[in-house]
């Protein structure tokens, strides 16, 4: 299965595929976090006097979960669960696939299996994000009664953020490598052209 997914990502990991997905991912991320629409983060903050949602924290304890949800107030919690069950359920798949394709594109020529497995980091981030969403939905559905999911939610969020940061680091390193390689090739071509004159 690992090889099948890696092959599929290599097949689809082209600029023609990656660029539109990246534009869509960034656009949706900006809209959901900045636009004042009925089911967005700014709308939640508006109805709850600026309270943050759990997704935005790096880690939180069970006690902090209930403190943060209390700050959201009933309307904020109602919008939050709609956000989690709608947009935030589909978005992890979009960014996970997009960044896996980017990693695949950047590292495709590597013959080292360890490098080729880096495509799994963004997919892990997506899995952590979905798991985080499911745990927060379970908490919200039982609120104010304590849910067992409250014990795991903070760790799932931490796993999501670590996977995202590592994925972005891998993309940045791949871009630096590609740009350096292109620069070296251009210098070699220039030097060869100059030497022939």
C-alpha gyration radius of the chain: 21
Phi-psi region of 28 (alpha: psi -120 to 50; beta: other; left: phi over 0): alpha
Q: How far apart are CA 100 and CA 105, in angstroms?
A: 9
Q: How far apart are CA 159 and CA 151, in angstroms?
A: 14
Alpha carbon 55 to chain centroid, angstroms:
11
Q: Identify which of 38, 42, 58 has the alpha carbon closest to the alpha carbon of residue 50.
A: 42
Evaluate whether 83 touches 129 at the Cβ level (below 8 Å): no
Q: What value does the mean pLDDT take over residues 83-87? A: 95
Evaluate whether 120 touches 100 at the Cβ level (below 8 Å): yes
pLDDT above 60 (res 197) = no
Please state the pTM of the whole predicted model.
Answer: 0.87
User: pLDDT-derived band of residue 15, with 50, 70 and 90 as boundaries?
Assistant: confident
Question: What pLDDT score was predicted for residue 187?
Answer: 63
All structural domains of the chain with their residue ranges: 2-196
| Main-chain dihedrals φ then ψ at residue 58, nearest 5 degrees | -80, -40
Q: What value does the mean pLDDT take over residues 70-83? A: 96
Residue 195 is encoded by which pair of tokens?
A: 């030497």
Determine the 3-state secondary structure of 175 from DSSP.
helix
Evaluate whether 69 touches 143 at the Cβ level (below 8 Å): yes
Question: What pLDDT score was predicted for residue 173?
Answer: 93
User: pLDDT-derived band of residue 12, with 50, 70 and 90 as boundaries?
Assistant: confident
Give the DSSP per-residue string, 51-111. Answer: PPPGGGSS---HHHHHHHHHHHHHHHHHHHHHHHHTHHHHHHHHHHHHHHHHHHHHHTT--
Question: What pLDDT score was predicted for residue 42?
Answer: 96
Sequence-distant (6+) residues with CB within 8 A of 120 are 100
């Amino acid at each position: 299965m690992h090889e099948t997914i890696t092959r599929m990502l290599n097949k689809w990991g082209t600029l023609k595929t990656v660029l539109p997905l990246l534009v869509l991912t960034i656009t949706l991320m900006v809209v959901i976090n900045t636009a004042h629409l009925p089911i967005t983060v700014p709308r939640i903050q508006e109805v709850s006097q600026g309270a943050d949602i759990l997704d935005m924290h790096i880690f939180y304890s069970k006690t902090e979960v209930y403190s943060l949800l209390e700050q959201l107030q009933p309307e904020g919690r109602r919008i939050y669960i709609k956000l989690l069950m709608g947009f935030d359920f589909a978005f992890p798949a979009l960014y996970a696939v997009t960044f896996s394709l980017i990693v695949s594109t950047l590292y495709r020529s590597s013959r080292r299996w360890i490098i080729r497995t880096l495509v799994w980091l963004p997919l892990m981030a997506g899995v952590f994000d979905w798991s985080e969403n499911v745990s927060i939905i379970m908490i919200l559905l039982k609120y104010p009664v304590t849910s067992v999911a409250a014990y795991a939610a903070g760790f799932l969020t931490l796993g999501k953020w670590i996977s995202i940061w590592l994925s972005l680091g891998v993309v940045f390193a791949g871009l630096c490598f590609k740009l350096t390689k292109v620069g070296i090739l251009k210098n070699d071509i220039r030097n060869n052209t100059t030497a022939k004159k």
